[in-house]
Homo-oligomer: A and B are copies of this chain.
């Protein structure tokens, strides 16, 4: 795997990593319904506000969410709705799930083959 290919996959992995945490997935889901400020999310999640703020920072750093200050509150919103579209696939993977050997017919929706 050469340099530029590796970089491409590392960039993608950066976005996936930002999504690879339950609280951050919750945030994305919640923001898909509309903007929220930090303390609303903090209340819903139940961790320390500093923790939630850091999660938001992670999502923001890769461009999944953006923020806008209004008064003393900071409102976050989802910038990439397509992320939410993936949740359906996530559920399918979870249902598909004992997850091991290739039983005949267990392959679905293979592309470009």
Contact = CB atoms under 8 A, between A and B. Distances in A.
A79 to B, nearest CB: 6
Contacts of A91: 12
A112 B33 contact: yes
- Report the copy number of this chain in the oligomer: 2
Categorize the interface residue count of chain A. 35 or more
A39 B34 CA distance: 47
A44 B66 CA distance: 37
A49 interface: no
A77 B110 CA distance: 9
A19 B67 CA distance: 26
Nearest to A86: B86
Interface string A84-97: 11111111111011
18 contacts: A1-B23, A1-B45, A15-B93, A60-B100, A61-B99, A62-B93, A63-B93, A63-B100, A64-B93, A66-B102, A68-B102, A77-B110, A79-B99, A79-B102, A80-B109, A82-B89, A82-B109, A86-B89
